Structure 1
Amino acid sequence: MQIYKVGGAVRDRLLGKPVTDIDWVVVGATAEEMLANGFRPVGSDFPVFLHPKSGEEYALARTERKSGRGYGGFTFHASPEVTLEEDLIRRDLTINAMAEDDQGVLTDPYHGQQDLENRLLRHVSPAFAEDPLRVLRVARFAARYAGLGFRVAPDTLELMRQLSESGELEALTPERSWKEISRALMEDHPQVFIQVLRDCGALKVLLPEVEALFGVPQPVAHHPEIDSGVHTLSVLEQAALHKQPLSVRWACLLHDLGKGLTPQSEWPQHIAHEHKGLKLIKCVNERFKAPRDCQELALLVGQYHTHGHRALELKPSTLAQLLQSFDVYRRPQRFEEFIAACEMDARGRLGLEERAYPQADYLRGAATAARTVAVQPLLEQGFKGPELGEALKRERLKALKAYKEQHPQ
């Protein structure tokens, strides 16, 4: 029995990055031997065991063969005869197909270390094209390591293009797709993830609503970058730079989908794109079964982001409706995330990345003013039921009128 550290732990150590999760592969052992040594089985599709003390995962060396469509369409074979090289060749990228023994000796049969030095994301073998999930994984790694200068190797991009055209991407489950998309959006350069998907033709399969934004112009006065797709990438870039949570990044990706529906005859104007985009945002949310907080924020940002930009001009009654739409009295954090998404939208424009966004503090102040209206005095006046709700609305509107008078444009 020989045990090797494999995959990301080896890659990140060689890159000088922190190693968080460690995967181990065991060569020359049977499942019975693992159990006899106190390991606990966890794998249903193939033999994976938890170490009796550390709890880390140890997998028996295995080979795999394509037996059906999609991510799960594989038959695995684990036995003591499977070599380390045979186990490593089934992995996606050369930089993930290296192993280290307990002495730190590197096994690198597919030149992953050289690709690390050359900053290349390259597939290990032609079997790469058998697993559609790898399109998303490679794009995610491109987003993770873009800051170090990594790029996808041309021959790997070509295999990703073939996968995108094969119909295999449609076999991915919403859960698997969302797992990769959500992880990619939380990388340092999530816009690279979207760009790589576009470069290999996967974006038009997975997110045709986002693909449709590219080539659609916007008014240059507000959008010096002009292209709606480029703007979306820039907004996503700003969200990452400002360390926004997943819900905000998801909303940033989808906020302008309505612009892809504007007839060419109306370009570069996009009248009512906020409302038009809601059905598309809802469709994308459902396609990937996004978490509820992501779904809700994406819809609200899509509908109201221009309200955010015009916050200083809004009438008190419109402000009151906006606050009510977000349920700021019970869910203040969601409104804070809306403000963040609006600010990222304002900054995601060529040459305007550093400009001030006074609307943010104005909206926060308005929410505070409305929230400070107390219910108790209204109860003491005898209001109850629906009448209490109406009285509360009136008092909040008064508070917003006073707030607006204190903050003239």
Structure 2
Amino acid sequence: MENKTYICQKEDCTLCMACVNTCPKNAIKLTLDENGYECLSIDQALCINCGLCGNVCNRRNQVVRNQPIKSYALQLTEKKKLRKSASGGAFQAIAEWVLEQNGICYGCYGKFDEGEFQTGHIRIAKVEELHKILNSKYTVSLINHTYKDILSDLEKGLWVLFCGTPCQAQGLKAFLKKDYEKLIVADIICHGVTSSRIFNDYIDSIEVIDNVKIQEYIFRDKSVSWGTNYKYTFIDRNGKKRDRHCPREESSYMAHYLAGNLFRDSCYKCSLACTSRVSDLTLGDFWGIEKTHPELAKRRENRMSLRNGVSCVLANTQKGIELIEILGSKVVVDETDLNSIVSNNGNLRKCSQKPPRRDLFMEDYRKNGYLPIEKKYRNRIRKKQRTYRMKNWVKSYMPDWVRIRLYKMFVK
């Protein structure tokens, strides 16, 4: 391999880290670019030009993909557990089954460490620790040497569940080079990946403006209802620990995330934002189920609660189908048509589009930091906050049959 700094073009790197796990000399290092996005570069002093990193790169390596064989609406039957999951608890149900087989689960864990919110994939071997990798985290999750750990567990004959973004799932498959009977690969319906620096700068801006110290941040809080509301735990100016529950509209970070301003350059040309997947299972929110499948909320037996969240599941392999069937009484599951899922999950049709003003947004952030962005957003929504909170309050008490009737009246 020729002498160079990057394995692929920096703007093409998905940060799957297959190269990091493959390199025999640990010559690939994590750095930050001018906008604070994580990127990988080669330490030329350690590199032996073996070319192994290029062989597993997502931009060069093609892993076998499959179209979904079956698709489902799924919800955990145990309400207490369901409330802790971002949507219908599909990942939790699958992970519990794997752990019951004395297997291992790998997923994204986020926590505050010395004032910084850090996210990365971790290894879970006990049901008591499963809560660490539940719920969504809308920031980058560093794989580090997770693929090596997975290979070690598989070689010991253990069941292994891995859940990550589609590019991380592809990175794992490229690293392993073959399928394993006891490996279950799940990916998520992904909008795109941000940077840890931007999220931490957002947290810092809240702390400065509100004079608080944030200790915990939950991206998907179900205290009100299923949706994209968030919650954070903080120490106030009097030293008292408190929780703040907020509608998604009050978060400048989520507003810019959903607008597409925060993603890595590679996310805007992602080839994995489609129904053709490398995983056994694809997991996401069954958005729009009130419109496409109102009958699921009306059933007297095995009734799904729309307020508590419903997962959509694409079974892309026979292994994925068999796993859903094994879950049994842990879940309420209904087979559904793929189009009802795709129609309300745009990232199963195409990748997130780069907004025309995204470069201007990043230039503003690079020059002035996040604090002015947060202040500007708060000023913009100030008059609407009461409306947002009233809408959330109404949703928290709205029965499913009312939701369905409103959808029929106002949503075509």
- Structure possessing the higher relative contact order (Cα contacts under 8 Å, 6 or more residues apart): 2
Q: Considering only CA atoms, is the larger Rg found in Structure 1 or Structure 2?
A: 1
TM-score (norm 2): 0.25
Between Structure 1 and Structure 2, the one with more strand by share is: 2
Between Structure 1 and Structure 2, the one with more helix by share is: 1
TM-score (norm 1): 0.25
